[in-house]
Amino acid sequence: MPALIGISCCRKAFGPFGAINHAVSDTYIQAAASVIGAVPVLIPASPRAVDIPTLLERLDGIILTGSRSNIQPALYNGPPHQEGTPEDPERDAVTLPLIRAAVEAGVPILAICRGLQELNVALGGTLHQRLQDLPGRIDHSTPLQAFARVRTGKAHLVHLAPNGFLHRLFGRASIAVNSLHNQGIDRLAPGLVVEAWAPDGTIEAVRLANAAGFALGVQWHPEYDFERDAFSRRIFEAFAEALTKRRLVPAFAAD
């Protein structure tokens, strides 16, 4: 049977009356279905509607998605956001405890953009709120524009940690990535190791060392170009391999 992949949603207002919807970009759905061969299961951004133990009993893996919203600063003892910064406290109330429970249960996690930041905060790390305001940092955000290939195109290189997971996965020292974020990791959470850096020193990828299951976070968006970029596709393939490995373990244990 195909794997079941939980994909985190955001709360977003749609339509002429601003009705609240639970939403996720179609790019995550397509990556889960076409590369992994999985059945996507949307995880609503509502702690009242999500029973984490039930989810983890049934899901084979979790993809934590990107979003325009930022994690509430109070969750990592940070200063208040600038006025007008989008937040999604309902999503925070689902994803952070979900991450901690999934790590404990060994459920594979692929954390993308905001998801990487959630992984870091959930495990005890902190965030920079606006990288572009820090001395020596580049602006990691991309202006909103209609032409998607420009908006989501490659923006800078990331340097891969020598002999790290991504270095071994890609077989090279650096790759080009897109860049659509303002926030970034400040203090790394205990247990996380850095897998990649931007040229300005910003942490671009992390992995949970000694994890019972696969737990990888990337600051860029491989779901945007997995159909034409081999490195983006390889991330989802590695996640799929971890899902297969975990699903085989109970079968071996039963023999």
Closest CA to 7 of 58, 56, 44, 50: 44
pLDDT on residue 254: 41
Instruction: For the chain, report the end-to-end CA distance as a whole number of angstroms.
Output: 20
Catalogue all structural domains in the chain, each as residue range(s) with its CATH number.
4-254 (3.40.50.880)
Rounded Cα distance between 75 and 151, Å, is 30
The residue annotated as part of the active site, out of 90, 195, 204, 223, is 223
Q: If residue 168 lies in a helix (H) or strand (E), which one and from where to where?
A: helix 165-170
Catalytic site includes residue 221: yes
Confidence of residue 145 (pLDDT cuts 50, 70, 90): low
Residue 152 has pLDDT above 50, yes or no: yes
* Residue count of the chain: 255
Catalytic site includes residue 140: no
Cα pseudo-dihedral 188, 189, 191, 192, rounded to 10: -50
pLDDT digits 0-9 by tens, 27-81: 999 999 999 999 999 999 999 999 999 999 999 999 999 998 999 999 999 999 9
Catalytic site includes residue 113: yes
Identify whether the C-beta of residue 142 lies closer than 8 Å to the C-beta of residue 92.
no
pLDDT digits 0-9 by tens, 111-130: 999 999 999 999 999 999 98
pLDDT on residue 182: 79
pLDDT digits 0-9 by tens, 90-108: 999 999 999 999 999 999 9
pLDDT digits 0-9 by tens, 155-178: 789 999 999 999 999 999 999 999
Q: If residue 215 lies in a helix (H) or strand (E), which one and from where to where?
A: strand 215-218
Confidence of residue 241 (pLDDT cuts 50, 70, 90): very high
The residue annotated as part of the active site, out of 9, 113, 128, 195, is 113
Q: How many CB atoms lie within 10 A of CB 34?
A: 13
- Name the more confident of 148 and 51: 51
Closest CA to 50 of 115, 88, 6: 6
The mean per-residue pLDDT over the stretch 205-228 comes to 94
Supply the mean pLDDT for the chain: 91
Confidence of residue 252 (pLDDT cuts 50, 70, 90): very low
Residue 251 has pLDDT above 50, yes or no: no
Angle value at C-alpha 197, between 144 and 84, nearest 5 degrees: 35
pLDDT on residue 96: 98
According to DSSP, residue 135 is labeled T
pLDDT on residue 149: 62
Q: What share of the chain is helix, strand, coil (3-state, %, to 5)?
A: 35, 25, 40
